[in-house]
Amino acid sequence: MKIETKYHGLIEVQEEEVVRFPNGLPGFLEEKEFAVIPFSEDGTFIILQSLQTPELGFVLTNPFIFYPDYDFNLENQAVDTLDLDSSEDVTVYTVLTMADPFHLTTANLQAPVVVNVKKKLGKQIILTGTAYQTKHHLFPEAIAT
């Protein structure tokens, strides 16, 4: 199918690139279907692009690349929503707030996007009772200099 995107213009997406969010995303409850589109050649960054709203695309990354100690537990309700059978079916992303210059970009570790890659179901989880915040610098060493 062809979709209009925020960062890539009109592109072709395959059905297997579509993730369904049964409950939408916080702040975007009516947005239920998103395509996962590579944003960098090495796969570090991806776009979660709404199929319904072309201007709605989130830049995501695997948080474990930048924060190897990142850790949280999924509540049973999230496991049920995602229809998870195994932890091996899970991919975790974090939403980035892009900055110019790029080294000031931050990651929202308080609200990871969790995807059941086998069943193509997603949910953004709001973590409570953790030290994680909505803005963690991707490159803290660049800020310190």
Q: How far is CA 21 from the centre of its chain?
A: 12
CA-nearest of 94, 93, 92, 91 to 117 is 91
CA-nearest of 142, 72, 81, 56 to 108 is 72
pLDDT value of position 119: 96
CATH number listed for the domain at residues 2-144: 2.30.290.10
Q: What does DSSP assign to residue 24? A: -
pLDDT value of position 141: 80
Average pLDDT over the chain, rounded to an integer: 94
Q: Which residue has the higher pLDDT, 86 or 108?
A: 108
pLDDT value of position 111: 97
Q: What is the pLDDT of residues 45-92, one digit of tens each?
A: 999 999 999 999 999 999 999 999 999 999 999 999 999 999 899 999
pLDDT of 145 strictly over 80:
no
Q: What is the pLDDT of residues 109-121, one digit of tens each?
A: 999 999 999 999 9
Domain ranges of the chain: 2-144
